[in-house]
Structure 1
Amino acid sequence: MFSRRRTLCSVLAAVSVGAAGLLAGCSSPEASAATGCATPGVGAQQIDLGVLYPDTGPAAERSDAVRGGIDARIGEVNAAGGVHGRKVVYQWRDDKGSATENAMGARDLVEHQNVFGLIELSVAASGSARYLADRGVPVTGLAHEQVWSTMRNMFAFTYVTGVAVDTQGQFVRSQGGRRAVTLQPALSAGISDTADKYARSLAASGIPVVDTVNFTPNVDNPAAAASRIVAAKADTVIGLIPPDSLVGILSTLRQAGHPPKVVLSGNGYDKRLLETFGAQAAGITVPLVYRPLELGGPAIQTYLEAMNRYAPQVAQPENDSSVLAYISTDIFLEGLRLADACPTRQGFIDRLRAQNSYDAGGLISPISFRTGAGRPTTCYSFVQVNGSGNAFLVVEPDLCGNTL
């Protein structure tokens, strides 16, 4: 929770950025207005943020769940008085998972909507990364691409780098997998990079990826994809496609008498998957970079209560998209808190980058924004749909591997 304190904001003009103690005391809306803060997106009563996300296109997932995670975390902070007395609001743009659309959306939000910074929950953040870095615009979100590890203004709690890790390969081998096929959407550089990391991880455990199948929902035939998996004699499926499409292919394989031993999905940790498909989804396993909700605890209870109160449109808050959006939003709010009462973009970046222990209130293991930027995640939890298709089981609560 963020506290709301009052002091004379006019002193800020006379103190240096390093005078953190004085700056931290300036927080009320009236004091903020008195300073005449000139930072884009910072008004007397509110701070405007932008959100970029693929609502349509092959990389699109659940926009309601994503916005729900953002709404829940912002709802919490606004109910507690905002950040230094200012309400936090946002507007979003659909980048369609395309670098070109991502660049256009970022320019619109920064130049025309005058936002302070961006939360990017996209696989195509590379489209706007250089533009935002050159203008010193702070960004938090999900690091689906290597560019997140190279830009000082971009913050995430887990990174995709040129370095792969062997954790996923260890897990697949422990489950009996020996030959794999990857399912991925076409024309997505971010997901192609992810597929490459999976392939290297599996190879480190002696598991070759013997085929890569491009699959676009509502365009490609699940039976054709299943036929390729059978022809490749694969016992493992790496699914980087929407989970409902993965279920369709998995059902076809089982009906044909070729059930895979391992089905590892890049997403799908969502109770709606269970409600919709039940036992058809059995065996789908999802690696997580945060504490599985099934483990419970104060941080998870806080998250669930915030979702129920401030994002009632999400009937099942137990889903990956909402949790990741919630954490990404929390990172931005932490940066705003640290940037003090009259925030600047540079102050946000400098102070958040100096943080050495951040844990999203207990949802993730502590990370360092100071020394951990760009380091690949080596530890994952693995949750799996049980045989009845009515619950997720935590099959590996904390499996740690090595960089390759």
Structure 2
Amino acid sequence: MPRLAGRRTAVLAVLALAAAAGCSDSGSSSGGGSSANTPGVTDTEVTVGTHMPLTGPAAAGYSKIAPATKAYFDYVNAAGGVHGRKISYKIMDDTYNPATTQQVVRELVLQDRVFAILNGLGTPTHTGVLDFLKTNQVPDLFVASGSRNWNQPDKYPGTFGFNPDYTIEGKILATYVKDNHAGQKVCFLGQDDDFGRDSLAGVKAVLGSVAAEQTYVTSNPNVAPQMGAFKQAGCQVVVLATVPGFTALSIGTAAKIGFKPSFVVSNVGADYDTLAEQLGDAAPLLEGVVAANYLPLNNDDANPWIQLFKKVNTQYNGNAEFDNNIVYGMSVGYLFVQALQAAGQDLTRQGLIDAVEKGGFSGPGLVPLRYSADDHSGYSGEQLTKVEGSTAAYFGKPYRTDDGDGPVTEYTEAPPAPPANGIPPQ
């Protein structure tokens, strides 16, 4: 089970000590030496940490991600771990509040002395800890957000994304709109941060402009003004760059005011099971919603990755209701295990970063990962989904593109099947 952030008094004391010491433990964290003096690493264990919205406005769905990652680690640990080390995963609740994120990440690094931060979630939350993690030379892997901030290898050499970045996603969603809703008024609602701005940039790169654009803040769960403005503007298609709670709010609010556009939704806010739970009796409003994903869907029981993750979920995650958030969390876990394996027996922080930059990882993703010394972004594209008959299913082929003016092109290679034992080969 995840450990909630509950050591506020202790962490304040740690912060005071850190301030006096210059807020850096870089003398023992660079990884230039050996695992013997690397924080979070012993002969038998490697400890990593994360910040997640276990409670708060983004908790719907997202609170299931880190426990799923931990479940996959427990599965690997039961088979002996990685290079003889078990993976310990410390999960801290930041409530999707940037100030709390800074507090819990400092606790993880300065008090718990984790080896790395893994899959910290959120654009506004994680942006605030980039400089701290850089100063303390802590690997910052596979951030749970599609912000382009994570792909700055010169500025943040230890930070790597995981999700396709939001501009890539915006281009792919807008290509669908251009091909299927030509001549219709397209409007855009996005989170008031890089999530929304980067998504809108991708949409405009393909469509040129939108008829109306609005933003929301997660502290205000009322999108009636935005939906009302779209209705008045005569919007026929609404693109949403929203977290799940605000996707549900937008679709539900639109229905209440008699506004019935076609909704096209960012992957991060489109998990069908999460939205259906949020909408309750109004779940039929999701029929026809188009979104995108880059991992196998939770309802594809014939997919060998889904078979593996369901097995792990049953054995190590309390048989939690299986949705795409669990698929996501276990996919992150699988990738991190590959990175640890590639970093070698003599595990150091720099060795881990070098291993990720070398790339060559494969897994359940429908498109390739893009890691290299010059590219710290994650997956390179997505495939479109549509809700039909209360089920989200893929259609068409996966697409790849870039966050510039490159074309949106189909990707035709199928992902490999998982190893027979479900663990990357060492």
The amino acid across from 2:114 in the alignment is V
1:395 aligns with 2:395: yes
Q: Which among 169, 172, 191 is matched to residue 174 of structure 2? A: 169
In the alignment, is the contact (CA less than 8 A) between 2:146 and 2:162 conserved in 1? Answer: no
The letter for the 1-side match of 2:358 is: A
AA of the residue aligned to 2:345: A
2:408 equivalent in structure 1: none
Give 3-state SS (helix, strand or coil) of 2:64's partner: helix
Counterpart contact for 1:184–1:215, Cα < 8 Å: no
Please state whether the residue corresponding to 1:109 is helix, strand or coil.
Answer: helix
Decide whether the 8 Å contact of 1:180 with 1:235 is kept in 2.
yes
| Residue 333 (structure 1) shift | 1.9
1:128 offset after TM fit, Å? 1.5
Consecutive unaligned residues of structure 2, counting only runs of 5 or more, are 1-30, 406-426
Secondary structure of residue in 2 paired with 1:125:
helix
The one of 330, 342, 345 equivalent to 1:338 is 342
Q: Which amino acid aligns with 2:329?
A: A
1:228 and 2:243 are equivalent in the alignment: no
Give, in whole Å, the separation in 1 of the partners of 2:295 and 2:374.
16
Structure 1 SS opposite 2:71: helix
**CA, structure 1 residues 115+379, in 2 after alignment: closer, same or farther (shift >3 Å)?**
closer
Is 1:192 the counterpart of 2:201? The answer is no
Letter aligned with residue 290 of structure 1: L
Please report how far the alpha carbon of residue 36 of structure 1 lies from its aligned counterpart in structure 2 after TM superposition: 8.1
Q: Give the secondary-structure state (helix, strand or coil) at the position aligned to 1:121.
A: coil
1:62: Cα distance to partner? Answer: 2.9
**Would you say the 8 A contact 1:52–1:93 is kept in 2?**
yes
Distance 1:165 1:195 in 2: 5
- 2:194, 2:53 → 1: CA distance? 12
Please name the residue that 1:13 is paired with. none
- Aligned-residue sequence identity (percent) comes to 20
Partner of 2:139: 138
Amino acid corresponding to residue 279 of structure 1 in structure 2: P
SS of 2:47 mapped into structure 1: strand
1:180 corresponds, among 175, 183, 186, to: 186
Distance (Å, rounded) in 1 between the aligned partners of 2:377 and 2:52: 24
Deviation at 1:343, TM superposition (A): 0.9
Alpha-carbon separation, structure 2, partners of 1:397 and 1:239: 22
Query: What is the rounded CA distance, in whole Å, between the counterparts of 2:90 and 2:370 in structure 1?
Result: 29
Distance across 1 between alignment mates of 2:87 and 2:99: 28
**Superposed CA offset, 1:342-371 (max 9, x none):** 31111111122212x2122x3343334226
User: AA paired with 2:361?
Assistant: Y
Q: CA deviation digits over 1:51-85, x for unaligned, max 9?
A: 11233444444354112321232122112111111
Distance 1:94 1:274 in 2: 24
User: Alignment partner of 1:234: what SS?
Assistant: coil
Give 1:238 shift: 2.1
More relative contact order, 1 or 2 (CA 8 Å, 6+ apart): 1
How many residues are treated as equivalent by the alignment? 361
CA contact (8 A) 1:292 1:381 kept: no
Give runs of aligned pairs for residues 286-365 of structure 1, distance below 5 A. Answer: 286-295=291-300, 296-312=302-318, 314-315=320-321, 317-319=322-324, 321-355=325-359, 357-360=360-363, 362-365=364-367
Question: In structure 2, do the counterparts of structure 1 residues 125 and 332 end up closer, same or farther at CA, with 3 Å as the change threshold?
Answer: same
1:91 alignment counterpart: 90
Shift of 1:193: 3.2
Establish whether residue 208 from structure 1 lines up as the match of residue 213 from structure 2: no
Contact 2:185 2:237 in 1 (8 A): yes
CA distance in 2: counterparts of 1:235 and 1:366, whole angstroms: 34
Q: Partner letter of residue 131 of structure 1?
A: F
What residue is the counterpart of 1:8 in the other structure? none
Which position in structure 1 is the counterpart of 2:70?
Answer: 71
- Deviations along 1:301-329, one digit per CA (max 9) or x if unpaired, are 212222222112521x222x222222223
Q: For residues 54 and 194 of structure 1, do their structure 2 counterparts lie closer, same or farther at Cα, with a shift above 3 Å needed? A: farther
In structure 2, do the counterparts of structure 1 residues 185 and 75 end up closer, same or farther at CA, with 3 Å as the change threshold? same
Which residue in the other structure is 1:370 paired with?
372
Residue 81 of structure 1 corresponds to 80
Residue matched to 1:41: 40
CA distance in 1, matches of 2:169, 2:305: 29
* Aligned position for 2:414: none
Q: Check conservation: 1:183, 1:215, Cα contact below 8 A.
A: no
Tell me, in whole angstroms, the C-alpha distance in 1 between the residues paired with 2:167 and 2:245. Answer: 30
Letter in 2 for 1:55: L
- Equivalent residue number for residue 239 of structure 2: 238
SS at match of 1:279: helix
The CA deviation at 1:376 is 7.8
* CA spacing shift, 1:265–1:108, aligned 2, 3 Å: same
CA distance in 2, matches of 1:118, 1:36: 17
How far, CA to CA, are the matches of 1:157 and 1:222 in structure 2?
Answer: 29
The corresponding residue for 1:53 is: 52
Q: 1:102 to 1:208 in 2, by over 3 A?
A: same
Say if 2:369 and 2:379, in contact at 8 Å, map to a contact too: no
* Match in the other structure for 1:381: 383
8 Å CA contact 2:190–2:196 kept in 1: the answer is yes
Q: Judge conservation of contact 2:55–2:63 (CA < 8 Å) in 1.
A: no
Deviates more, 1:393-402 or 1:165-174: 393-402
Describe how 1:242-281 pairs up with structure 2 within 5 A. Answer: 242-254=243-255, 256-266=257-267, 267-274=269-276, 276=280, 277-281=282-286
- TM-score, normalisation: structure 1: 0.78
Distance 1:323 1:84, change over 3 A: same
Residue identity in the other structure for 1:226: M
Conserved? CA contact 1:237–1:262, under 8 Å: yes
Q: Deviations along 1:373-398, whole A, 9 cap, x unmatched? A: 24686531111221x4x211223341
Q: TM-score, normalised to structure 2's length?
A: 0.74
